[in-house]
Amino acid sequence: MIVAEGKPVEKILEMVAPFKKVLIAGCRGCVTVCLTGGEKEVGILASQIRMARSKDGNPIEILEQTEERQCDVEYNAKFLENVEQVDAIVSLACGIGIQYLGEKYPSTPIFPGVNTLMLGANIDVGKWEERCMACGDCVLDKTGGICPITRCSKSLLNGPCGGSQNGVCEVSKDVPCGWQLIYDRLSEIGQLDKMREIIPAKNWLRAKGPRTYVREDLTLDRS
Amino acid sequence: MTITNIRIGIYLCDCDGKVSKKVDLSKVKTAIQSQAEFEYIREADVVCGTAEQEKVAAEIDKYSLNRLLIVGCNDPFITRKFLQLAEEKDISRYNVEFIDLSAVDSVEAAVSAINSTLGKLHLRAEIGYEELAVTPDVLVIGSGSEAAAVAKAISKNQPVVQIDHETTRVVEVDGFPGSFTVRLLENGKTIKQSFGAIVLALGAQPQYDANKYGGVNLDERILSLSQFIKTDKSYTGKKVAFVLGKADADSLLSFAAVLKAALDLKDKGASEVDVIYDDMKVCADNLEQEYELARKKGVNFLKYDGEFQINSTSAGATFQYREPFLPIDATRVAADYLVLAEDFVPAAATQELAEILDIRTGPGGFFQKDNVHFLPIKSNRAYILFVGSCHGPIHGTDLYNEIEAVVAEVSAFAKGKAQVPSLQPRVEAKKCAVCLTCYRCCPHHAIEIVHDAEYDNMYNSAARMNPLACQRCGVCAGECPGKAIQLPLYSDQEILFEIKQPAKIVAYACENSGYLASEFAKTLDPQLQKDLQIVEVPCSGKIDVIYLLKALEYGADGVMLLVCHKENCKYVWGNNRAEQRKERAQALLNQVGLGDRIEFVHVAANQGNQFNAAVKEMAEKIRQSGTNPGKVVK
Amino acid sequence: MTEANDKPEVTLKSGSALEKTYVSGQFVCTGEVGPPMESSFHHVDMYGEAMKGRVDSINLTDNQTAMTRLASWGAAIRLIQLGLEPNWQMTCRDRNRLAMQADMMAAYALGVRNLLCLTGDHQAFGNHPGCKGVYDVDSLQLISIAKRLRDDGCFECGAECKKPPKFFIGCAANPFGDPFEFRVTRLEKKIEAGADFVQTQCILDWDRWAKFMDLVVQRGLHKRIFISPGLMPVKSPKMARYMQHGVPGMIVSNEFCEFLEKAENGKIGALDLTVDYVNRCKKMEGVAGVHIMAVAWEEVVPLVVTKAGLLPRPFAAFKDNPAPISDEIKALWKKATVENYVPELA
């Protein structure tokens, strides 16, 4: 899922400094699951900001609302009543939700309360690791189910580079060498011969947009 | 979650004239009538009297009351009467509250207490009872004498299946108490069976450690204690010497076994029986008597001190040592057989079963963490129990007591059904993101993820707490990022209501430690708590970061968390979670310059003085950080 | 060493002195200069001069360890201006395939003939750790691009290049990287992609290097690509021990460290060890030459190649009259107490 972390509150305070009434919008999707932007975190941030502004003698009124998602217009419609009352919105959804909520209410300034970090797996409580970069051209069949774009620091398609030592990437001992992982996995499933193939240069158009995806067979004609 | 139709009846009792000496109840009544939301209120002279009780019963019917607030005293005998009355009228015990006015000396204080309790009654979830179908069958895992003993004891009331976990092995355990689904492997075949409870009775393994005896190896003449016990041999006319003390330092099992064996040998005509020991440990039932009896029967007890040397030949074995009381250099005991005590180590399958069952091991690798709340037979999971040496070598009366405890515990399922108050946390499916956080953080393996069209969210799925497994600690509620989980009696709404006009210091106190310590502490220094407001929680793991912030937002100057000592949390890791949340809350305060306002204290129920010391430290912190500038004035 | 007329007539791919020397079967010797962190050719000139006539060609590193330096292509052209032969290095970290092919066309037009295709150290190591590491293609794909231009006359996209650059293509290999079992296969992949010669990571553990070469020879790779191990004189025993323990990914044998520790003069010891390794390499099956990479100590290259009996070079410019040693170089030798290492050069 999408993993995000909370922005430092000093930055958020700067964003809302000129405003007296603000809505903090949470999302029950990915940011709840990664413990960053759900109803609880909305409450915590709201409390923190209220106290900070009170301390500075510049009180702020904060409304709190969390809905299913912020990446669907029907859910964003649910924020209308509160948005009409406030001067600005701080959204704790991922970058997608923040923007999409902003598109729904274009005349209200909208601010990011989180930094969207990655597409990651939840390894254990409080721990997430990146696994995918949405590169648009999945090669997991060639690499034993381990992604070279995300798990190799250099995103090499024909790794490992010379810096791989003891299964560890040259960049940091905390980073396993993605290609060592691929090599080990391919060995385990008896597909090591796949590493003899040279994978040609990537079409990066697939990996960088702005990208759109349309299913012609499913689009709805409402006329 | 909102309950409509709350109809509260308030009874202001004079306790036979005692209350009106300090508090004018009519004034209280007037005040309440003007401020509060309730259905019926009246004064009474002695509301616990029989005539009054009948009157109350009639009023419940007349006004369709479904909640009661009895203001006057909370004498246990009287509260029981009222709860019985309430039950007869289908009012759950959780919908009846009592306020003790004996310590209250003003109308204002009385009114305040009443308003506070009324608020709680309004916010409290509907708590009924669930009747669940359960399997009375019990699975006993183990093959030694301990397993046989507990299986026999349980089988008097309920069906028991005993497996040795060798020829028949446990492979997987699913489900919850009352209906554990156990997958067994027997002769290559998989069998699935349902059990209400699981009892581990693997015993401990004796293990001879040559290092403890100067590297001496066992042979024909030098036996380990377990070898001696197992082998069927005649020792008539023989000399046997036992050595105690070097091994099995933590238990009495060897002592018990040796005394028994010594008596037995004497009876069977051994020519000489010596027990060589460094300390005679007889601190368990009957051991002192057996020791005396052995001496009477002529068993020699020889004390050694420090170094010794063991040798053996084909003809016999010797134990050479220094006798501490006689003025001789060395003493040598020669015997036909030397029997050496062994250590007891966990049964071989301990780690494997711990993983399969998701239960913990503790000191020495035996089952059960060294946490007093689990003693003697409990694990972190309800109805998965330990008996006997599998959680540390025990014998005799201790073992017998454990067996009794297990029998009592599993008897809850003997009738095939169990009734439980539905006090476990409730999940609002609409808010549940099925993130698995509660599932992972539950110390008792009490949560499952269920799927049903009735769950009104995008997954048609939500977490659910099993009523028999759940221990109502509230850790899950404190973890939930979606605020989907509310623990009845301790919901966010109820707790935030309690602190909405907080005292200078709000102390969230665990009911097992901090809260009890605060009661004791009050008797030692009542003045110290005048600015302190105690909010009781079932476990410090219930304390949410938002509770800490809100107390300050609403105007407190400082917040305390009073938690159990490390490794002593009744709910395994509730106090650890509390500490992590405290760290986060203090970091949040630091980020906006609000100062050092949170005090985290490990305290036990009887540590009144330490409690007071902590309050003083909190007061000092507040003095240094100043009045809370973050208070939000509405 | 085989005689030139033993080999059948071979068409040269780039015509560089390096290629000629390799193809002739004579023992190759290359040097290396790290361009400076400033807009000046002073050091390139100084070291280039010192290596004039003493090596077949000279590597110019490309933002080595991701520290931004004067571009390899710029230093390469400077060497050409001085009459020397550069080994241009290109990493995948700093350019996309458009820039790579564009630079290739320009460099070739300006006379560069040898190109090493490298992945490049991760930008985290350097002085701009937040910069975007490009990695549009990896080293294997870069080798293919260079080969396609040279042999098929077309760009990576398939379009025709009327006057394509025709480089002698080099690559790197690390016998000390993991997984060890795969390193030889990776080299083979580079051969298949089109690499003509390979320079290895510097050899600081002879046994592991020997093991690697065993596997290489077993597979016959030495017959399909020219192999030059990298040799680095390590200035001090302390530095050797630091590299052994303090540098991730570097394998230094105890034999190597102990030799330096036992030497009376550490710096002389370092040179002796390098010369010894050159001599071992001369006798090693599968080795076609050596690459002297005297990192941050370029001034000792003339000493090493002379002492190791690698002169004269067969095809290098100025092979018959290597440049006299400048005073500046001699001063550096004196500072390192190695000025008398090769008396005739002093």
| pLDDT tens readout for residues B63-73 | 999 999 999 98
The parent domain of residue A174 ranges over 135-206
Does residue C130 fall inside a structural domain? yes
Q: What is the mean pLDDT of chain C?
A: 93
Instruction: Give yes or no for B483 touching A (CB within 8 A).
Output: yes
pLDDT band at C7 (very low <50, low <70, confident <90, very high): low
The parent domain of residue B569 ranges over 491-634
pLDDT band at C248 (very low <50, low <70, confident <90, very high): low
Does residue A126 fall inside a structural domain? no
Alpha-carbon span B566 to B287, nearest angstrom? 35
pLDDT band at C243 (very low <50, low <70, confident <90, very high): confident
Does residue C6 fall inside a structural domain? no
Question: Does the pLDDT value for residue B2 go beyond 70?
Answer: no
Partner-chain residue, chosen from A154, A156, A195, that has the shortest CB–CB distance to C182: A195
At C3 the pLDDT is 46
Does residue B131 fall inside a structural domain? no
The answer on B173 and B312 residing in a single domain is no
Residue C105 identity (one-letter amino acid): M
Q: Which pLDDT tens digit goes with each residue over B464-481?
A: 999 999 999 999 999 999
Question: Does the pLDDT value for residue B285 go beyond 80?
Answer: no
Q: Which residue has the tokens 């179908």?
A: B133
At C4 the pLDDT is 47
pLDDT band at B326 (very low <50, low <70, confident <90, very high): confident
Q: What is the mean pLDDT of chain B?
A: 93
Helices (H), A78-198: 80-83, 95-104, 148-151, 178-188
Q: At what angle do helices A39-55 and B574-591 cross, to 10 degrees?
A: 40
Find chain B residues with C-beta within 8 A of A50's C-beta: 553, 630, 632
Instruction: Quickly count: other Cβ atoms within 10 Å of residue B549's Cβ.
Output: 26
Does residue A130 fall inside a structural domain? no
pLDDT band at B231 (very low <50, low <70, confident <90, very high): confident
Q: Which pLDDT tens digit goes with each residue over B513-544?
A: 999 999 999 999 988 989 999 999 999 999 99
Q: Are B586 and B561 in contact (CB under 8 A)?
A: no
The answer on B355 and B324 residing in a single domain is no
Total domain count for chain A?
A: 2
At C1 the pLDDT is 42
Picking from A10, A51, A75, A124 by the largest number of B CB atoms within 10 A of its own CB, the best residue to mutate is A51
Total domain count for chain B?
A: 5
**Mean pLDDT for the stretch of residues B61-88:** 91
B partners (3+ CB pairs within 8 A) are: A
- DSSP letter (8 states) at residue B411: G
Please tell me the total number of residues recorded for chain C in this structure: 346
Tell me whether chains B and C touch (3+ CB pairs under 8 A). no
**Mean pLDDT for the stretch of residues B238-253:** 90
At A140 the pLDDT is 97
The answer on A171 and A111 residing in a single domain is no
Write the CATH number for B26. 3.40.50
The answer on B338 and B223 residing in a single domain is yes
Which residues, listed in sequence order, are joined to residue B197 by a DSSP beta bridge? Answer: B138
The answer on B142 and B48 residing in a single domain is no
Write the CATH number for B610. 3.40.50.2300
Q: Using the beta-carbon criterion (under 8 Å), do C122 and A157 form an inter-chain contact?
A: no
- pLDDT under 70 in chain A at which residues? none
The answer on A86 and A182 residing in a single domain is no
The answer on B476 and B362 residing in a single domain is no
- Chain A residue with the nearest C-alpha to that of C126: A171
Does residue A147 fall inside a structural domain? yes
Partner-chain residue, chosen from A156, A172, A183, that has the shortest CB–CB distance to C135: A156
Q: Using the beta-carbon criterion (under 8 Å), do A154 and C122 form an inter-chain contact?
A: yes
- Burial class from Cβ neighbours inside 10 Å (0-12, 13-18, 19+) for residue C335 reads exposed
- Chain A residue with the nearest C-alpha to that of B547: A44
Instruction: Give yes or no for B51 touching A (CB within 8 A).
Output: no
The answer on A69 and A13 residing in a single domain is yes
For A219, the token pair is 């689009």
Write the CATH number for C317. 3.20.20.220
The answer on A86 and A165 residing in a single domain is no
Task: Spell out a b/e string for B472-484, using b for 16 or more CB atoms within 10 Å of the CB, else e.
Answer: bbbbbbbbbbbbb
Helices (H), C86-193: 97-109, 139-147, 180-193
SS3 B25: helix
The better pLDDT of the pair B3, C93 is held by C93
The answer on B469 and B354 residing in a single domain is no
Alpha-carbon span B105 to B111, nearest angstrom? 11
> Which A residues, 94 through 133, put their C-beta within 8 Å of a C-beta on chain B?
122, 124-125
- Chain A residue with the nearest C-alpha to that of C173: A162
The answer on B161 and B287 residing in a single domain is no
Q: Using the beta-carbon criterion (under 8 Å), do C178 and A154 form an inter-chain contact?
A: no
- DSSP letter (8 states) at residue B129: E
**Mean pLDDT for the stretch of residues B277-302:** 90
At C9 the pLDDT is 65
Does residue C252 fall inside a structural domain? yes
Please tell me the total number of residues recorded for chain A in this structure: 223
Picking from A142, A143, A156, A161 by the largest number of C CB atoms within 10 A of its own CB, the best residue to mutate is A161
The answer on A114 and A20 residing in a single domain is yes
Find chain A residues with C-beta within 8 A of B630's C-beta: 50-52, 54-55
Does residue B130 fall inside a structural domain? no
The answer on B597 and B500 residing in a single domain is yes
Does residue A127 fall inside a structural domain? no
Instruction: Quickly count: other Cβ atoms within 10 Å of residue B417's Cβ.
Output: 13
Picking from B435, B449, B598 by the largest number of A CB atoms within 10 A of its own CB, the best residue to mutate is B435
Total domain count for chain C?
A: 1
Mark which of A51, A83, A118 sits at the end of a domain.
A118
Instruction: Give yes or no for A28 touching B (CB within 8 A).
Output: yes
pLDDT band at C245 (very low <50, low <70, confident <90, very high): confident
The answer on A110 and A146 residing in a single domain is no
Q: Using the beta-carbon criterion (under 8 Å), do C125 and A170 form an inter-chain contact?
A: yes
Q: Which pLDDT tens digit goes with each residue over A111-165?
A: 999 999 999 999 999 999 999 999 999 999 999 999 999 999 999 999 899 989 8
Instruction: Give yes or no for B477 touching A (CB within 8 A).
Output: no
Find chain C residues with C-beta within 8 A of A202's C-beta: 136-137
Q: Which of A101, A124, A107 is nearest to A26 (CA)?
A: A101
pLDDT band at C212 (very low <50, low <70, confident <90, very high): very high
Does residue A222 fall inside a structural domain? no
Q: What percent of chain B has pLDDT over 70?
A: 99
| A interface with C, Cβ–Cβ below 8 Å | 153-173, 177, 180, 183-184, 195-196, 198, 200-202, 204
The answer on B625 and B528 residing in a single domain is yes
The answer on A50 and A84 residing in a single domain is yes
The answer on B501 and B547 residing in a single domain is yes
At C26 the pLDDT is 96
Strand ranges (E), A28-79:
61-67
Does residue A25 fall inside a structural domain? yes
The answer on B502 and B480 residing in a single domain is no
**Mean pLDDT for the stretch of residues B260-272:** 92
The answer on A56 and A105 residing in a single domain is yes
The answer on B495 and B482 residing in a single domain is no
The answer on A146 and A111 residing in a single domain is no
Q: Which pLDDT tens digit goes with each residue over B392-435?
A: 888 778 899 999 999 999 999 999 999 999 999 999 999 999 99
Question: Does the pLDDT value for residue C2 go beyond 50?
Answer: no
- Chain B residue with the nearest C-alpha to that of A32: B481
The parent domain of residue C321 ranges over 18-345
At C229 the pLDDT is 97
Q: Which pLDDT tens digit goes with each residue over C150-187?
A: 999 999 999 999 999 999 999 999 998 888 889 999 99
At B614 the pLDDT is 95
Q: Using the beta-carbon criterion (under 8 Å), do A44 and B480 form an inter-chain contact?
A: no
The better pLDDT of the pair B105, B174 is held by B174
At B410 the pLDDT is 97
Q: Are B177 and B383 in contact (CB under 8 A)?
A: yes
Write the CATH number for A97. 3.40.50.2300
Q: Using the beta-carbon criterion (under 8 Å), do A38 and B441 form an inter-chain contact?
A: no
The answer on A107 and A26 residing in a single domain is yes
Write the CATH number for B442. 3.30.70.3270
Q: Using the beta-carbon criterion (under 8 Å), do A163 and C173 form an inter-chain contact?
A: no
Mark which of B486, B505, B532 sits at the end of a domain.
B486
